[in-house]
Structure 1
Amino acid sequence: MRQITLSNGQTVEVECLSCALTSGLIEPDGGVVLETEHFHAHQDVAYPIKGLIILASKRHIKCFDELTEEEKLDYIKVLSKIRKAQRDVLGIEYVYYFYNEDTTHHFHTWMVPRYDWMYEFGRSVESIRPVLLHARNNMNGGQNLLEVMSGIEALKNELKIIGGDKN
Structure 2
Amino acid sequence: MRRITMANGETVETACLSCAITSGAVEPDGGVLLETEHFHAHQDVAYPIEGLVILASKRHIKALDELTEEESQEYIRLLTSIRRAQREVLGIEHVYYFYNEDTTHHFHTWMVPRHEWMQAFGRSVESVRPVLLHARKERNDEEQVLKVRAAIGALREALQRGEC
Distance 1:41 1:155 in 2: 11
Question: Could you tell me which residue of structure 2 aligns to residue 114 of structure 1?
Answer: 114
Amino acid at match of 1:160: Q
Structure 1 runs of 4+ aligned residues shifted over 2 Å read none
Q: Partner of 1:25: helix, strand, or coil? A: coil
Aligned alpha-carbon RMSD (Å): 1.0
1:70 aligns with 2:40: no
Question: Could you tell me which residue of structure 2 aligns to residue 102 of structure 1?
Answer: 102
Q: Partner of 1:42: helix, strand, or coil? A: strand
The alpha-carbon deviation at position 122 of structure 1 amounts to: 1.1
Q: Partner of 1:162: helix, strand, or coil? A: coil
The alpha-carbon deviation at position 126 of structure 1 amounts to: 0.5
Distance 1:148 1:71 in 2: 28
Question: Could you tell me which residue of structure 2 aligns to residue 147 of structure 1?
Answer: 147
Distance 1:147 1:24 in 2: 23
Unaligned runs of 5+ in 1: none
Instruction: List per-residue Cα deviations over 1:40-95 (Å, max 9, x = no partner).
Output: 00000000000100000000000000000000000000010000111111010000
Distance 1:123 1:81 in 2: 24
Amino acid at match of 2:39: F
Question: Could you tell me which residue of structure 2 aligns to residue 58 of structure 1?
Answer: 58
Distance 1:62 1:72 in 2: 14
Identity of aligned residues (%): 70
Amino acid at match of 1:4: I
Amino acid at match of 1:113: P
1:126 aligns with 2:93: no
The alpha-carbon deviation at position 163 of structure 1 amounts to: 7.0
Question: Could you tell me which residue of structure 2 aligns to residue 13 of structure 1?
Answer: 13
Normalised to the residue count of structure 1, the TM-score between the two structures is 0.96
1:37 aligns with 2:25: no
Amino acid at match of 2:85: A
